[in-house]
Amino acid sequence: MSGSLLDAGAVIGCPHGGRVTPATTPSGGLRIAGAVVATGAHAYVVTGCPHSVAGVPSPCVTVRWTADGSGVTADGSPVLLDTSAAECFSAALVPQGPPVVQAAQRKVTVR
């Protein structure tokens, strides 16, 4: 799998327009231009998702990444790429679609 490394400053959203951010500010680890490289060890939350089903709010609240395709690790955890498989979930753990990674200047590409 190839793609660009995601860092803590990556702009990511849920498929309904909510904002995806690290649950805690990643510290230490591998850095690119001062930003921590995102890994499978980082938890991500969603805020501001307006999704509803039949008029009942069902916002995305978390993202689960599958970061095992590149073979590249940082601090022993697989790095996240802009092409890594992921899924947004509601509080009831209902899958609600993949997150959207905004195109950005590529700092490091993994092939």
3-state secondary structure string across the chain: CCEEECECCCCEECCCCCEEEECCCCCCCCEECCEEECECCCCEEEECCCCEECCEECCEEEEEEECCCCCCEECCEEECECCCEEEEEECCCCEEECCEECCCCCCCEEC
| pTM listed for this prediction | 0.82
Mean pLDDT of the chain: 85
Mean pLDDT computed over 85-111: 83
- pLDDT for residue 106 is more than 70: no
Segments making up each domain of the chain, as ranges: 3-110
Mean pLDDT computed over 78-93: 91
Mean pLDDT computed over 7-25: 89
